[in-house]
Amino acid sequence: MDLRFTPEEVAFREEVRAFIRDNLPREIRERMRLGYPPRKQDTIDWMRILNAHGWAAYNWPKEHGGPGWSPIQRMIFNEENLAAPAPELLSFNITMIGPVLIQFGTPEQKAHFLPRARNLDDWWCQGFSEPGAGSDLASLKTRAVREGDDYVVNGQKIWTSTAHNADWCFCLVRTNPQAAKRQEGISFLLIDMKTPGIEVRPIISIDGSHHLNEVFFTDVKVPVANLVGEENKGWTVAKYLLGNERTGIARLGKSKERVRFAKEIAREVRHRGAPLIEDRGFRQRVAQMEVDMKALEITQLRVISAYAKAGGNRPDPLSSVLKVKGTELLQASSEMVMDVGGPQAMPIWQHELAAMANEPAIGPDWAAYMAAPYLMLRAASIYGGTNEIQKNILNKAVLGL
Amino acid sequence: MDFDLTDDQRLLSDSVAKLLAGTYSFEQRKALLKTPGGWSEALWNQFAELGLLGLPIAEEHGGFGGGPVDVMLLMQAFGRHLVLEPYLATVVLGGTALKLAGDAAQQGEILPEIAAGSLKLAFAHSERQSRYDVADVATTARRDAGGWVLEGAKSVVLHGDSADRLIVSARTAGGQDEAMGLSLFIVDAEASGLARRGYALRDGTRAAEVSLSGVRLPAEALLGEVDHALPVIDRVIEAGIAATAAEVIGTCETMQAMTLDYLKTRVQFGKPIGENQALQHRAAEMLIALEQGRSMAMLAAMSVEEPDPAERARAISMAKVGVGQAGRFVSQNAIQLHGGIGMTEEYAVGHFFRRVMVIEHLFGDTATHLDRLADQVA
Ligand SMILES: Cc1cc2nc3c(=O)[nH]c(=O)nc-3n(C[C@H](O)[C@H](O)[C@H](O)COP(=O)(O)OP(=O)(O)OC[C@H]3O[C@@H](n4cnc5c(N)ncnc54)[C@H](O)[C@@H]3O)c2cc1C
């Protein structure tokens, strides 16, 4: 047993850190440091910079344009990227559709889609959830009926993140409503978002942003060539997708970066006549976060090592521990940032609007985006399988209850 | 010990509930948020007609002569509907300042106007650097030709954009953090040298940044004793804490009811999600938090008029902590148990969530009040 990274891993971390430091555009970094989410173009720009260096598809094997890194290297890269802070790699492209196509795609699908996904020439979105099918995903109703060389798709998806930016959507559809088990009548389709019959309607979330959408399909024709895996075997593909890449699930680098930001601003703001950073209660809160983050870091390494030893093909139920703890820490760190800001974090300062109108911003820069991430991150324990569902998984798969 | 309401108090609760049921649906509130002012003058006048604006104001000043329990009931009802009108700023904060520090002429002039709905106030005390430090005031007032001249800036002044007059704290002596040397002034919002920039807080309620440069005031603008305003400021803040504690309980009641309803109607895996024991226990924990919070809101209401300052401050800090924690727990779980729908602007629960979030960061947050209590652990 040895908790230290090998000299090679330490050198690798240095290399990644140096590359990000030297190549991440300053303006993007500065906005993200203040808590703003990356703009569409920020994500595209950063993915392309990384792709030119061979790093965008950080978890793909070499033959498909990835760097061929070990699970530990991927974890290090992911953490450094989040901690920079740099835009997160578009997960729909990199950790979802990429690995799925590598595993299940036809040679044509691989040749066409993989290079484009890496370079973000195509922005992908995930069309799984429906109004009646959230936690109970297998109850999805969107229908696809085979007609000649096409499937004709009718139905509705909801909570489709960034569908308004997307060029393509990977979608779960029902192809056999008569199947004995609900899971057996589902197929996995790749749908061009420009196809006639698709309507994307925005859903504004409680932080005021447009991230979510409803997507309506009316007689949408999808070529049979865009089926991934076999017809009616889409559930296997979806399970692979959801269980595949767990190293990023805790997003620990993000929590670390937020705690760092909270500490930085705590040097500026005052609490009972002194800088907040000197307050014992605040320091204990930070210390508690640091304890929890350290524990999660080691748990994450354990899960990754076991995954690597098992040949990297079996999702570990302990990854639910990473999801639950990781999202709790994300939420707690965003809460801490907001609390540091205090009353200054409460206004909608509208720095962007002020900038557009050529007026000075009203509040301090650091306060502009302290409450919005707290609001948006309430969703972290909802998406990707709610934390209640993760605990059900642990009960069943680990505890045998 | 008596937790019963009087007949008058029940009547008050019922008539407010009836008024808000007809005027403050989620859709009606959303329409109000879209108006430039962000709330309704017409409703404000209705509040006046019903006697709500004069509720805690003495009868001799055109009020109803009610007490803190009446205010608690009203604020709780406001919380259930997320009322946007400047009641807290005008009646609770402004009214308390005048009641405690105003001379006969000031009270006689202003309090009847508050009760009639023809004058709105804002309490312009906090500054950008002050965070929760009550004595941290950099704005200054210096004597000049028998009057005063104000210099400085105030930050996140609740409803400062619509107020007709501002009650401004300023330093007349002492260093920036000193308890001694603070004074309060009544300043006309149109005074020359006073500028305001209004905006919405995250919950849609309004606030303003206020700058004061060379604002000249007559001698009569002084509210209370020169250099000795801190005890008054403390009590105004305590009144604000008691009122918003009740408001949080109202918001939590609504969130709790919405969540319960959702648990019974949302079906996943072939049954209502509320049949999962994990969620039943969570709902029970929300109820426990709400009831503990409710007790603390009552403590706050019963304590605002306690004459012993130390005892009063202690009870109020306890209530701020208890209600802050209860509010956070109930509101976070209300969203969680709704799943995706709870994250959307079109659904009401997130709006209640944001009100609780904003209130927790007014008048000293949970950590600040816990710190004050920790100082006194004997
Ligand atoms: C910000 C955000 C982004 C998203 N992005 C996408 C996306 O890009 N693509 C996509 O397809 N989907 C996306 N989703 C949808 C997400 O996957 C679902 O919201 C999630 O699966 C939960 O489903 P639901 O919202 O219908 O909640 P429900 O399943 O209705 O759950 C409501 C509550 O009941 C609980 N619950 C349900 N069943 C049980 C049970 N058996 N035991 C105990 N508790 C239970 C849940 O934990 C939750 O607290 C996104 C969601 C959000 C909020």
pLDDT tens for A176-188 read 999 999 999 999 9
Q: Tell me the residue type at A13.
A: R
| Chain A contacts in chain B segment 48-107 (CB below 8 A) | none
**Domain ranges (residues) in chain B:** 7-119, 122-228, 231-377
pLDDT at A358: 73
Q: pLDDT band at A44, cuts 50/70/90?
A: very high
Tokens representing residue A177 in the block? 């409503």
Q: Helix H segments across A245-368?
A: 252-266, 280-309, 319-341, 351-356
A135 vs B268: CB contact, 8 Å cut-off? yes
Burial of A41 from C-beta contacts in 10 A (0-12 / 13-18 / 19+): exposed
pTM for this model (two decimals): 0.97
DSSP per residue over A70-122, as a string?
Answer: -HHHHHHHHHHHHHTT-PPP-HIIIIIIHHHHHHH--HHHHHHHHHHHHTTSS
Cα(B243)–Cα(B71) distance, integer angstroms: 7
pLDDT at B29: 97
Chain-centroid distance of CA A169 in Å reads 16
From A347's Cα to the closest Cα of chain B, the distance in A is 4
Cα(A389)–Cα(A377) distance, integer angstroms: 18
Cα(B2)–Cα(B96) distance, integer angstroms: 26
CATH 3.40.50.2020 correct for B231-377: no
B371 → chain A, closest CA residue: A281
A363 → chain B, closest CA residue: B128
Residue with tokens 């720095």: A351
| pLDDT, mean over chain A | 94
| B241 touches A at CB < 8 Å | no
Cα pseudo-dihedral A152, A156, A160, A165, rounded to 10: 60
DSSP per residue over A211-238, as a string?
Answer: EEEEEEEEEEEEEGGGEESSTTBHHHHH
Cα(B106)–Cα(A325) distance, integer angstroms: 57
B339 vs A371: CB contact, 8 Å cut-off? no
A342 vs B365: CB contact, 8 Å cut-off? yes
**pLDDT tens digits for range A121-144:** 999 999 999 999 999 999 999 999
Mean pLDDT of A14-43: 95
Cα pseudo-dihedral A293, A297, A298, A303, rounded to 10: 130
User: Which portions of chain B are predicted below pLDDT 70?
Assistant: none
Of the listed A79, A80, A130, A245, which one is catalytic?
A245
Mean pLDDT of A52-58: 97
Residue B66 per-residue DSSP state: -
CB-CB: which of A346, A383, A387 is closest to B361?
A346
DSSP per residue over B122-136, as a string?
Answer: EEE---TTTTT-TT-
| A391 touches B at CB < 8 Å | yes
| B357 touches A at CB < 8 Å | yes
Q: pLDDT band at A3, cuts 50/70/90?
A: confident
**pLDDT tens digits for range A348-392:** 877 766 766 777 777 888 998 999 999 999 999 999 999 999 999
Residues paired with residue B149 on neighbouring β-strands, in sequence order: B142, B216
Residue with tokens 């009836």: B18
pLDDT at B16: 97
Q: Which residues of A171-190 are buried (b: 16+ CB within 10 A; e: fewer)?
A: bbbbbeeeeeebbbbbbbbb
pLDDT at B56: 97
ipTM over 0.90 threshold: yes
Residue A313 has pLDDT above 90, yes or no: no
Residue B65 per-residue DSSP state: -
Contact (CB, 8 A) for B86 and B122: yes
Contact (CB, 8 A) for A86 and A29: yes
pLDDT at A314: 66
DSSP per residue over A355-382, as a string?
Answer: HHTT---SS-GGGTTSHHHHHHGGGGGT
Fold of B122-228: Butyryl-CoA Dehydrogenase, subunit A; domain 2 (2.40.110)
User: Would the CB of A383 count as within 6 Å of ligand 1?
Assistant: yes
Active site residue A264: no
C-alpha closest to that of B189 among B96, B38, B86: B86
Residue A245 has pLDDT above 60, yes or no: no
Residues paired with residue B208 on neighbouring β-strands, in sequence order: B157, B198
**pLDDT tens digits for range B92-108:** 999 999 999 999 999 99
B7-119 CATH choice from 1.20.1050.140, 3.30.1360.120, 1.10.540.10, 3.40.50.1000: 1.10.540.10
Query: In which region does residue A120 sit, left (phi positive, over 0), alpha (psi from -120 to 50) or beta (all else)?
Result: left
Residue ranges of domains in chain A, CATH in brackets:
7-89 (no CATH), 125-234 (2.40.110.10), 246-398 (1.20.140.10)
C-beta contacts of B296-299 below 8 A and 24+ residues apart: B296/B245, B296/B321, B296/B322, B296/B323, B296/B326, B297/B72, B297/B76, B297/B242, B297/B245, B297/B246, B297/B248, B297/B249, B297/B323, B298/B3, B298/B72
Residue A299 has pLDDT above 90, yes or no: yes
User: Would the CB of A376 count as within 6 Å of ligand 1?
Assistant: no
Cis upstream peptide for A275 (omega within 30°): no
Ligand 1 geometric centre to CA of A385 (Å): 6
Contact (CB, 8 A) for A292 and A372: no
A374 vs B357: CB contact, 8 Å cut-off? yes
User: Would the CB of A165 count as within 6 Å of ligand 1?
Assistant: no
**pLDDT tens digits for range A155-182:** 999 999 999 999 999 999 999 999 999 9
Cα(B23)–Cα(A111) distance, integer angstroms: 60
Q: Is B311 helix (H, G, I), strand (E, B) or coil?
A: helix
pLDDT at A243: 77
Residue A276 has pLDDT above 80, yes or no: yes
Phi/psi of residue B5, nearest 5 degrees: -90, 150
Contact (CB, 8 A) for B185 and B167: yes
A158 vs B340: CB contact, 8 Å cut-off? yes
| B335 touches A at CB < 8 Å | yes
Tokens representing residue A186 in the block? 């589902």
List all residues 6 or more positions away from B112 whose beta carbon is below 8 Å from its beta carbon.
B61, B62
**pLDDT tens digits for range A192-244:** 999 999 999 999 999 999 999 999 999 999 999 999 999 999 999 999 998 76
Burial of A291 from C-beta contacts in 10 A (0-12 / 13-18 / 19+): exposed
